[in-house]
Structure 1
């Protein structure tokens, strides 16, 4: 649960500026520390996909490394994803076109052919680092709304080269949609309708500019605060409300805070 009154934008900046101390707090959590220790001790015993599936903690850490921890109870589905060849065009992962599953399958398919896959320290560390990154972003997001998505967006946005990548990634799409001020109902539109609207409002070239990515995040977090807070509780937020001639919030649109990408 997010803490009442915590500014999303402020907490996001603290999470970046004080990342080392925040990371120490995150890793000191009992559940996190226990999962990391268990993974380090037991992953070397995994010689097959079946071995991995039998150990819930190891599977949880592995799925979390790819932001898929919520899928842990879909046993048959997860196993299918881990055992189908990602190079086969007919495999389920290639029919889904979901980037998280694609990354998982490509990263772990070798376990089907190489029982020594987790004897390689690079493979073990790759999973652990992915787990820590995902769980750390979730940890920061517990304090203020939108911070998890903002941290993820900051990490991934530089790799966006076409609109379809934005639309395929739910977290990136969420940041873009909220930042543009599009309502939740936008998600119920047909794919082509969404694409047409986004083509008019999104410049893919902006994703190559770190400064513009930061502006996108800033706008997303400000809009998140507006959408999730009572403007009367924070006078600054009332400045972003439209002028209401018949009562309501009255105030100028801010001219010193440029949120345009």
Structure 2
């Protein structure tokens, strides 16, 4: 039987429980037989890969390589992923740079086959990092099967840190957030944007993200989230706002009217 994360509560209380037990739960998750088999196979076989075609020809290698970047749903999109890998990260008009979802760019940067063979695949440290990321992402998926909001909260520290560590301009960093679906959802929820926000022009979205971030967190700059305490505040606000949205969506108009009447009676 595979390990299932223990999430006795939702929302902020559930998040605090998960943080207290995270290391133990992730270790148990990584020891599950199917994940041990997947990562041992990857470690043994990846050194034989000399091209993007070699990597993509082996479904078991694709499982770990794509899973490490949260792209497990593309495991059968072989032609598309080959184009991502072979275009590479450096061409401005290459596919990874044109896609709004920047996880593909991260994949292309890690497995760089633009010169043929990827030198990273001979680096044991690189292989360790891919396996570690695969375990982390697969644990997040397992969490998401029980609580999707908790899964999104888990990406905040890792993905925001990766974006900020890249040293891009503030605007470019915000656009990377906007191109990361889970992180984008976190910010949209925490900053109180509605479902139609994504239909705005990208430059307008950037302006609104900055304005709301300044109003709530004190600065227009994404770099403020380099501070662990500010990231913690973002996470807590996301979970609280998400709970509010879920509660409102479950109310019928009659229940909402009854609640308003009850509140009015209490104030009398």
TM-score range, shorter chain: 0.7 to 0.9
1:76 aligns with 2:94: no
Q: Write out per-residue CA displacement over residues 129-178 of structure 1, whole angstroms, 9 at most, x where no aligned residue.
A: 22112112222333333111111112222444442232222221110111
Q: Structure 1's 197 and 111: CA in aligned 2 closer, same or farther, altered over 3 A?
A: closer
Q: Distance in 2 between matches of 1:13 and 1:30?
A: 28
Q: CA deviation at 1:226?
A: 2.3
Q: CA deviation at 1:230?
A: 7.1
Equivalent in the alignment of 1:238: none
171, 195, 212: which one aligns with 1:201: 212
For structure 1, list consecutive stretches of 5 or more residues without a partner in the other structure. Answer: 234-243, 253-261
Contact 1:179/1:219 (8 A) holds in 2: yes
1:178 aligns with 2:196: no
Q: Distance in 1 between matches of 2:50 and 2:196?
A: 46
Equivalent in the alignment of 1:129: 132
Q: 3-state SS of the aligned residue for 1:66?
A: coil
Greater share of helix = 2
Q: Structure 1's 112 and 52: CA in aligned 2 closer, same or farther, altered over 3 A?
A: farther
1:114 aligns with 2:117: yes
Q: Write out per-residue CA displacement over residues 158-211 of structure 1, whole angstroms, 9 at most, x where no aligned residue.
A: 444442232222221110111122222222233233223222212325313221
1:247 aligns with 2:258: yes
Contact 2:177/2:184 (8 A) holds in 1: yes
For structure 2, list consecutive stretches of 5 or more residues without a partner in the other structure. Answer: 165-169, 214-219
Q: CA deviation at 1:126?
A: 2.2
RMSD of aligned Cα (Å): 3.0
- The 5 A counterparts of 1:86-97 are 86-97=89-100
Q: 3-state SS of the aligned residue for 1:88?
A: coil
Equivalent in the alignment of 1:189: 200
TM-score by length of 2: 0.78
Q: Distance in 2 between matches of 1:232 and 1:76?
A: 42
Equivalent in the alignment of 1:259: none
Q: Structure 1's 208 and 43: CA in aligned 2 closer, same or farther, altered over 3 A?
A: closer
Q: 3-state SS of the aligned residue for 1:142?
A: helix
Q: CA deviation at 1:117?
A: 4.7
- The 5 A counterparts of 1:17-32 are 17-32=20-35
96, 99, 102: which one aligns with 1:99: 102
145, 165, 176: which one aligns with 1:165: 176
Contact 2:26/2:139 (8 A) holds in 1: yes
Contact 2:88/2:112 (8 A) holds in 1: yes
Q: Write out per-residue CA displacement over residues 1-58 of structure 1, whole angstroms, 9 at most, x where no aligned residue.
A: 9999732322322222222211122113343233223222322332221111111111
Segment drifting more, 217-226 vs 30-39: 30-39
Q: Structure 1's 232 and 191: CA in aligned 2 closer, same or farther, altered over 3 A?
A: closer
Q: Structure 1's 27 and 35: CA in aligned 2 closer, same or farther, altered over 3 A?
A: same
Q: CA deviation at 1:110?
A: 4.2
